[in-house]
Amino acid sequence: MAETTGTTETIKGLEDLPGIGPVTAQKLRLAGYNTLEALALAPSRELVDTVGLSEEKAISLSLKAREMLDIKFQTAEELLIQRKEITRLTTGSKALDEILGGGVESRGILELIGEFGVGKTQICLTLCVTVQFPPESGGLDGRVLYIDAEGTFRPERIVEISRNHGLEPVDILKNIVVARAFNSDHQILIGEKTDELVKTENLKLVIVDSIISHFRAEYIGRGTLANRQQKLNRHLHRLLRTAEIHNIPVVVTNQVVASPAMFFGPSNKPAGGHIMAHLSTNRVFIRKSKKSRRIAKIIDSSYLPEAECVFMISDKGIEDVS
Ligand code: GTP
Ligand code: MG
């Protein structure tokens, strides 16, 4: 995929593109394409299916949007420079940061996988606080969008975590935008608005807790699996594009399902199949240890070593074992 060249500060709207009148702009917005960046990076097939554009118009518009935003092919040298723009966010645990290659990285999706009660939500809540740290303390000095699909976001816990990091809870709470997703379609819709929200709300992190629960609850039975995976695919693509366009991390939580194919060892595997595996940039599998201790393991990574670490859930959210 072509990548942006970092000239996104000059904010241009959909109507600035020759060929987009009010009617087309309206159609694009209704389908969730709120910005030129979203249009530029959308596959033309997707524009045909979701906006109802002719194939010719879809190709022409996405081409023009890429030209206007100066998105072009890049040399490996330029890509290396862009890799250097990647920012890293601390999780609150140095050990966990280390196996992630120095923290949660921007321009990608980090997937937190594990059974109920393992601490996925606790990590997400901690990130809502650490993202507001200044860069010298491992933060991104920014605000966060929390897409809450399970209704488990707890402001009281944010208050506690903030206090134990020596921060004023009211200031921290103000910088967390919570969007409760009531079903999978609603979640997809919020996902489509995210790209614009990142700009208008100055977001430096997007969290989806959990990415899969609505999909699993609503699409039951083998016959609906293809449809579910197709929707999940689009949803994740949108989130990944947002991460790439704005150079921010996206963190999602995922459940585990029983894997009957395994005779030995852990019999759980991440839900969401190949789509999930393919679109997550990094995957962390978490399991319980003694008391509040947890073991995190990097799985399926193309560039992180398969390392393991221990962290604990505490009054600071999550932290290293002392
Ligand atoms: P599901 O959403 O059910 O799949 O689980 P999850 O992985 O999101 O688990 P969650 O993050 O909710 O973690 C629950 C664990 O965190 C439990 O072991 C709780 O005991 C622990 N926990 C929750 N709140 C607190 C707290 O305020 N202090 C401490 N020390 N532990 C907590
Ligand atoms: Mg949870």
Query: CA torsion sign, 53 to 247 to 66 to 200?
Result: positive
Tell whether 239 and 90 lie within a shared domain.
yes
Q: In the prediction, which pLDDT does 106 show?
A: 97
Tell whether 195 and 110 lie within a shared domain.
yes
Q: Which residues line ligand 1 (CB under 6 A)?
A: 114, 116-122, 150, 152, 157, 292, 313-315
Q: Domain holding 48: CATH number?
A: 1.10.150.20
Give me the phi and psi of 13, to 5 degrees please: -95, 170
Tell whether 53 and 133 lie within a shared domain.
no
- Please name which of 38, 47, 46, 43 lies closest in space to residue 65, comparing C-alpha atoms: 38
Tell whether 186 and 278 lie within a shared domain.
yes
Cis check: omega of the bond before 54, within 30 degrees of 0: no
Q: Ligand 1 test: best mutation among 93, 96, 112, 121, most atoms within 8 Å of CB? A: 121
Ligand closest to CA 120: 1
- The residue that leads in pLDDT, 223 or 126, is 126
In a domain? residue 75: no
Whole-prediction pTM value?
0.84
pLDDT in tens, 4-52: 444 444 467 899 998 899 999 999 998 888 888 888 888 888 899 889 9
User: What's the CA-to-centroid distance between 117 and ligand 2, angstroms?
Assistant: 7
Does the pLDDT at position 110 exceed 90? yes
Range of the domain at 205: 83-320
In a domain? residue 167: yes
Percentage, residues of the chain above pLDDT 90: 71
Q: Residue type for 118, please?
A: V
DSSP 196-212: HHHHHTTEEEEEEETSS
Q: Where are the alpha helices (DSSP H) in the chain?
A: 22-30, 36-41, 44-51, 55-68, 76-84, 94-99, 120-130, 155-164, 169-174, 184-200, 213-218, 225-246, 273-279
- CA 16: distance to chain centroid? 28
Tell whether 62 and 185 lie within a shared domain.
no
In a domain? residue 73: no
Tell whether 111 and 31 lie within a shared domain.
no
For the CA of 124, the nearest atom of ligand 1: 11
Q: How far is residue 274's CA from residue 163's CA, in Å, rounded to a whole number?
A: 40
Q: In the prediction, which pLDDT does 265 show?
A: 55
Q: Domain holding 289: CATH number?
A: 3.40.50.300
pLDDT in tens, 126-182: 999 999 999 999 999 999 999 999 999 999 999 999 999 999 999 999 999 999 999
| Mean per-residue pLDDT over the chain, rounded | 91
Q: Average pLDDT of 286-303? A: 94
Q: How far is residue 313's CA from residue 321's CA, in Å, rounded to a whole number?
A: 9
Judge contact between 312 and 320, C-beta under 8 A.
Answer: yes
For the CA of 125, the nearest atom of ligand 1: 11
Tell whether 116 and 8 lie within a shared domain.
no
In a domain? residue 77: no
Tell whether 171 and 315 lie within a shared domain.
yes
Q: Average pLDDT of 100-122? A: 97
Tell whether 124 and 245 lie within a shared domain.
yes
User: What's the CA-to-centroid distance between 137 and ligand 2, angstroms?
Assistant: 26
User: What's the CA-to-centroid distance between 117 and ligand 1, angstroms?
Assistant: 5
Q: In the prediction, which pLDDT does 113 show?
A: 97
In a domain? residue 56: yes
In a domain? residue 173: yes
In a domain? residue 78: no
Q: Determine whether 128 is exposed, middle or buried from the number of CB atoms within 10 Å of its CB (0-12, 13-18, 19+).
A: buried
Tell whether 156 and 274 lie within a shared domain.
yes
Tell whether 10 and 122 lie within a shared domain.
no
User: What total number of domains does the chain contain?
Assistant: 2
User: What's the CA-to-centroid distance between 125 and ligand 2, angstroms?
Assistant: 10
In a domain? residue 231: yes
Tell whether 6 and 49 lie within a shared domain.
yes
Q: Ligand 1 test: best mutation among 111, 122, 127, most atoms within 8 Å of CB? A: 122
Which of 37, 68, 99 is the last residue before a domain boundary? Answer: 68
Which of 68, 97, 120 is the last residue before a domain boundary? Answer: 68
